[in-house]
């Protein structure tokens, strides 16, 4: 097990009706804030009215910036930075899913910085201070409500990069599973894919003597696999949503990665896909992760056997380790298809036109720790995903 430091300062406020507490919680930190959100869904659901009423009741002034899109855009981040500077705003409340929260984190980094906020994502600079961020989560998926990470798309260059710093962990996050009841089906399953990928990026490691976090990863995955299909049958199943929502946070708050070297190849490979084609991140991951597994499993076949047996209940009577691994991958693909996710690029309307270009762009950022991948390796993974 590797040395590690683990600290998660985010206060989690979880359960029914908790969004009504947002004003009182914000008031502990600021009197004037930026309210950041996406499209019209929070207005249709009534969440916007609840949040703004709570803010007014607590005596918190707010300016608004909506319009966050999936794969959040740099241009809106830059607009938010200027809005905060012009109005002396020192706190950001993100109401939405991972894209809204990531956008809020980017704004929070950019306001005190004298250069271009893209410098952080391009690894040309590191923030020394940020504005505090809080969240009201509406889409369990990215885990950004408790993570130190943010991903932004530069629409001018077509690049999609992530950045991680402890400075952007939210000070608090409000999580009410009831807010998920009206989510469109595609957002639900894309979220499932994203949180499972966050766990698997940590699970596949060469670090030895990490049985505790292995077991935590496996238990979280199995809980997701068990409860996710229930949401197809009953989108208003509070108990299933509670399990899924909390799993999404645990998947990406760094607990499951303690003491182990993480991989993150599949995320890097998928980022090129969603930057090029503007597809949903979760849909890209459900295609890329099985392809990555097929390409790299010989590197540490015992870990893939463990994954197949402990997560997907593949019987050791299969005997041949390769047969066990391949059956585990097949079961994962069947699960993705069963809940409505793609497992091939062709299902997303993507052909081989830009595969080599994307592979070289991925290599330029560095791909993988479990197995270090060059652009030719990434290209083969893309081909396996076709």
Distance separating alpha carbons of residues 379 and 370, to the nearest angstrom: 17
Please classify residue 336 by burial: count the beta carbons closer than 10 Å to its beta carbon, then call 0-12 exposed, 13-18 middle and 19+ buried: buried
The parts of the chain modelled with pLDDT lower than 70 are none
Q: Which helix (H) or strand (E) holds 331?
A: helix 321-339
Distance separating alpha carbons of residues 147 and 297, to the nearest angstrom: 28
Q: Could you tell me which residues come within 8 angstroms of residue 298 by beta carbon, excluding any fewer than 6 positions away?
A: none
Residue 141: its pLDDT value, please? 93
Tally of CA atoms within 13 A in the half-sphere of 282 that contains its CB: 27
Distance separating alpha carbons of residues 350 and 355, to the nearest angstrom: 9
Instruction: Express each pLDDT in 144-184 by its tens digit.
Output: 999 999 999 999 998 999 999 999 999 999 999 999 999 99
Q: Beta-carbon neighbour count of residue 337 at 10 Å?
A: 14
Q: Beta-carbon neighbour count of residue 90 at 10 Å?
A: 17
Structure tokens of 48? 């916007």
CA 207 from chain centre, in angstroms, equals: 23
Residue 318: its pLDDT value, please? 72
Residue 365: its pLDDT value, please? 86
Helix axes 211-233, 321-339, angle to 10 degrees: 40
Owner of token pair 């995955």:
221
Distance separating alpha carbons of residues 239 and 217, to the nearest angstrom: 21
Residue 319: its pLDDT value, please? 74
Residue 383: its pLDDT value, please? 98
Residue 40: its pLDDT value, please? 82
Q: Which helix (H) or strand (E) holds 285?
A: helix 281-296
Residue 317: its pLDDT value, please? 75
Distance separating alpha carbons of residues 90 and 108, to the nearest angstrom: 8
Distance separating alpha carbons of residues 231 and 194, to the nearest angstrom: 16
Residue 17 DSSP class: T
Q: Could you tell me which residues come within 8 angstroms of residue 40 by beta carbon, excluding any fewer than 6 positions away?
A: none
Residue 51: its pLDDT value, please? 97
Q: 201-229 as b/e, with b when 16 or more CB fall inside 10 Å?
A: bbbbbeeeebeebbebbbbbbeebbebbe
CA 173 from chain centre, in angstroms, equals: 15
Q: Can you say whether residue 209 is alpha, beta or left, with left for phi > 0 and alpha for psi between -120 and 50 degrees? A: left
Nearest to 217 by CA among 236, 231, 237, 196: 196
DSSP per-residue codes, 105-173:
HHHHHHTT-SS-THHHHTTS---S----EEEEE-S-SS-TTT-SEEEEEETTTTEEEEEE-GGGS-SEE
């Amino acid at each position: 097990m590797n040395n590690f430091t683990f600290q998660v300062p985010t206060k989690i406020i979880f359960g029914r009706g908790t969004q009504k507490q947002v004003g009182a919680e914000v008031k502990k930190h600021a009197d004037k804030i930026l309210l950041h959100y996406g499209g019209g869904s929070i207005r249709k659901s009534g969440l916007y009215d609840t949040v703004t009423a709570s803010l007014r009741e607590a005596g918190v002034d707010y300016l608004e910036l909506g319009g966050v899109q999936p794969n959040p855009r740099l241009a809106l981040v830059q607009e938010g930075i200027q809005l905060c500077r012009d109005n002396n705003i020192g706190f950001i409340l993100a109401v939405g899913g991972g894209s809204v929260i990531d956008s809020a984190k980017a704004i929070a980094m950019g306001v005190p910085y004298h250069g271009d906020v893209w410098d952080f994502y391009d690894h040309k600079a590191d923030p020394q201070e940020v504005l505090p961020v809080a969240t009201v989560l509406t889409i369990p998926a990215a885990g950004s409500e408790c993570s130190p990470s943010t991903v932004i798309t530069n629409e001018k260059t077509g690049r999609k990069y992530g950045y991680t710093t402890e400075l952007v962990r939210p000070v608090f996050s409000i999580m009410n599973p009831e807010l998920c009841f009206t989510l469109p089906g595609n957002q639900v399953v894309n979220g499932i894919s994203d949180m499972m990928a966050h766990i698997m990026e940590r699970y596949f490691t060469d670090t030895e003597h990490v049985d505790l976090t292995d077991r935590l990863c496996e238990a979280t995955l199995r809980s997701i696999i068990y409860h996710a299909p229930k949401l197809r049958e009953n989108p208003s199943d509070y108990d299933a949503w509670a399990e899924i929502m909390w799993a999404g946070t645990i998947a990406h708050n760094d607990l499951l990665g303690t003491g182990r070297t993480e991989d993150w190849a599949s995320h890097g490979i998928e980022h090129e896909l969603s930057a090029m084609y503007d597809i949903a991140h979760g849909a890209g991951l459900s295609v890329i992760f099985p392809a990555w597994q097929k390409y790299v499993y010989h590197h540490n076949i015992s870990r893939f056997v463990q994954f197949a047996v402990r997560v997907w209940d593949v019987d050791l009577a299969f005997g041949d380790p390769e047969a066990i691994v391949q059956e585990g991958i097949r079961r994962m693909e069947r699960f993705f298809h069963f809940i409505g996710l793609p497992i091939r690029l062709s299902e997303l309307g993507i052909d081989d036109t830009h595969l080599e270009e994307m592979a070289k762009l991925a290599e330029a950022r560095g791909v993988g720790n479990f197995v270090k991948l060059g652009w030719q390796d990434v290209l083969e993974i893309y081909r396996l995903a076709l």
